[in-house]
Amino acid sequence: MVLMQIAEPGASETSPDGPRKVGVGIDLGTTNSLIAHFDGDRLSVLPDEAGAMSLPSVAYYGQAEVIVGDAAVVLAAEHSADTIASAKRFMGKSRDEVSDEGYLEFADEGMAFATTRGPVTPVEVSADILRALASRANLAGFDQLDGVVITVPAYFDDAQRQATRQAAELAGLPVLRLLNEPTAAAVAYGLDSAEEGVVAVYDLGGGTFDISILRLERGVFEVLATGGDSGLGGDDFDRLLADHLTAAAALDNLTIGQRRGVIACARGVKELLSEQISCTVSLDHIVAGTGEVVVDRSTLNGLCGELVNRSLDACRQCIEDAGIEQVDRIILVGGSTRMPLIKEAAAKLFGREPLTHIDPDQVVAMGAARQADLLVGNRGKDDLLLLDVIPLSLGVETYGGLVERLVHRNTTIPVVRAQEFTTARDGQTGLLVHVVQGERERVEDCRSLARFELSGIPPMVAGAARILVTFQVDADGLLEVSAKEESTGETAHVVVKPSFGLADTTIAEMLRAGYENAGTDMQARQLTEARVDAEQLAAGIYAALKVDGDLLDESERGDLLSAVQGLEATADGDDVEAIRSAVEHTGKVSELFAARRMDQSIQQALGGISLEALEQEVGE
């Protein structure tokens, strides 16, 4: 494996006697967010004025002010419509992809929340949270930040990553890199241990679940595989328990504010049941006259069992993708992993007791801070190299509706891949490049990312043009695609910024469908490829007959047409081998015609040249 310096282009190294640059890591979470710093010796989470380490990812939008954090949580019950929580779940998504959450009010148009202040987008909410975190750096005495690393779920798609970058830009933060949360956690633990081996990072945050398998060797973290569920998180556990509490207390027709109050209560009950066997809950402060409800840990486990199993299914798939039989260490990330049920399930699946000596709420921010310190140009004896991967394959549509994958899933990033393509029809002067994402063989079964057109192709016969298509995925997992016609130098490109991201669980479903349909997909691909070959051969023969049909006598022409018509009839069927045989047979029948056309072309090329002149030219 080739090691590379992990620094931004143009970043200068800090001299031993020079000032140390300031980089911070930010864990922009669904429920809570944190900011951390590495000073060369110690990793620390930066607190607010009251000493609190975590910042609730909640923002209140009043007519005259924006309030973020604990103060916004206090206002949530009385001003529910103006208080936004869990905005991360909506980042990079369209309004159509979001179901009615039941505790948020959406604006009439677009992906925005309706508040007294007006429509507020998830990006704007995230920007305000980032500003509040940045103010903690000022409190710590850092007047200027040289660079920031922000963590994102490994399964965030391109749109969700772009939305995160936009939020940072709105907040005025100099983002060096978006780092996958599981990878950040592994970095933090790698600093505390000289051990090497395979590490599993089980990351259950407030809104997403990630599982990553990494190999740690001589200071190099290589991500072997990543998986998860972008629609599974601690919020879902809270809502299941909230529904149970609502039913047990016989509460009906709750307002948005009351529903949010029950969910907040459920979250507290979940945390209590991680420490004790049972507890008594009163919802009287939410709905007057409500009696008490007793909840025990076994009830919670029963409610959450299906969600935990969903996470374990993703873990099994990730292990298979990584091509390993066992892991050496397990890291648990996210506050929900404090639940005994999750600790037990993870330990049983991986056959190892999880590491717990770093706070699961802080470990992601700490790892991000370590990377930020490197990326701003600071150097140390414990420098780590990160080799991250992309979660889904990337490719282009080819003739016949097939997918040609240029970058395969679990490819280490950053990466550049290029491949030559050509035109499908004579005289074609333009090419539509359709960029897709997924594991299936046909375009209709994959996700469309972008389309752009390359024009200015010289009119040539089909297959003569040489068009180089290049995919470049940067360290943040963002994609740029370009196409270049080799003879003219004409180029076109697109930075893939789809207007919305994948729906919840879509990525997991795409992967599962890819595995389940691998056999039938390959058969469909072979059939399509055989039909394309037949179509192109028939079209080529018809075009040649139109120009040089007089080179054949009536009988020869009839034999060739009969073969072509038989080929077309066979291509209408579903027998791949029969189509291939028909293509081969038609090719042989056309050999005589092809030879005569070649002879004619040579004679025309040599017209007017004497044998003596030709011999002289060959001699030279």
Active site residues: 27, 88, 181, 203
- Fill in the amino acid letter for 462: A
Tokens of 415: 């990466």
The number of C-alpha atoms within 13 Å of 328 and in the hemisphere containing its C-beta is: 11
The residue assigned the tokens 């490994």 is: 154
Chain mean position to CA 239: 26
Q: How many residues does the chain have?
A: 620
What is the number of other CB atoms lying within 10 angstroms of the CB of residue 581?
14
Q: Are 501 and 160 in contact (CB under 8 A)?
A: yes
Tally helices (H) and strands (E) across the chain: 15, 25
Q: Are 146 and 23 in contact (CB under 8 A)?
A: yes
CA of 231: how far to CAs of 337, 414, 499, 593, in Å?
16, 26, 19, 61
**Collapsed DSSP state (helix, strand, coil) of residue 411:** coil
Tokens of 249: 């207390």
Tokens of 12: 């200068």
- Give the whole-angstrom CA distance, residue 36 versus residue 533: 58
Could you report how far apart the first and last alpha carbons of the chain are, in Å? 51
Do strands 147-152 and 23-27 pair parallel, antiparallel, or not at all (unpaired)?
parallel
Radius of gyration of the chain (CA): 31
- Give the DSSP per-residue string, 131-153: HHHHHHHHHTT-S--SEEEEEE-
Q: Are 495 and 162 in contact (CB under 8 A)?
A: no
Element (H, E) at 58: strand 58-61
Tokens of 71: 């103060």
At residue 108's C-alpha, the angle toward residues 107 and 111, to 5°, is: 55
- Give the whole-angstrom CA distance, residue 231 versus residue 573: 42
Chain mean position to CA 551: 57
Helices (H), 100-216: 122-139, 158-170, 181-190
Element (H, E) at 540: helix 518-548
Whether the bond into 414 is cis, omega within 30 of 0: yes
Nearest to 81 by CA among 55, 62, 65: 62
- Give the whole-angstrom CA distance, residue 362 versus residue 34: 7
The number of C-alpha atoms within 13 Å of 250 and in the hemisphere containing its C-beta is: 4
Q: Are 193 and 216 in contact (CB under 8 A)?
A: no
CA of 337: how far to CAs of 28, 274, 276, 550, in Å?
18, 10, 15, 79
Tokens of 74: 């206090």
- Give the whole-angstrom CA distance, residue 245 versus residue 178: 38
